[in-house]
């Protein structure tokens, strides 16, 4: 089993948290595909653990943009 070094939340923990997350239906207009909830959650945890500003979340980690993660936390 290969582990992602950047992953902050384990698959087992995410499986327990997934039912608590809001269900979002895709827009009928189309648009950019939504970042997965697991990636956004990992980005949120990374920012909260490191204390970096939301805008400085590194794109190389694959957690999406800092603003996306912040909006998911807000919602």
Question: Which three-class secondary structure state does DSSP give residue 45?
Answer: helix
pLDDT of 4-53, one tens digit each? Answer: 566 788 999 999 999 999 888 888 888 888 899 999 999 999 999 999 99
In the chain, how many domains are there? 1
61 found inside a domain: yes
Please indicate, yes or no, if residue 62 is contained in any of the structural domains: yes
At residue 30, the pLDDT reads 87
Per-residue model confidence (pLDDT) at position 7: 76
pTM of the prediction? 0.83
Would you say residue 73 lies in a domain? Answer: yes
Conformation bin of residue 13: beta by default, left when phi > 0, alpha when psi is -120 to 50: alpha
pLDDT bucket at 2, cuts 50 / 70 / 90: very low
Which domain does 56 fall in, by range? 35-75
Q: How confident is the model at residue 70 (pLDDT cuts 50, 70, 90)?
A: very high
Q: Is 50 a domain residue?
A: yes
């Amino acid at each position: 089993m290969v582990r992602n070094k950047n992953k902050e939340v384990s698959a087992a923990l995410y499986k327990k948290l997934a039912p608590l997350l809001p269900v979002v239906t895709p827009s009928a207009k189309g648009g950019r595909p939504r970042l997965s909830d697991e990636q956004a959650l990992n980005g949120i945890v990374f920012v909260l653990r490191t204390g970096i500003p939301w805008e400085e979340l590194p794109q190389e980690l694959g957690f999406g943009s800092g603003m996306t993660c912040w909006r998911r936390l807000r919602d």
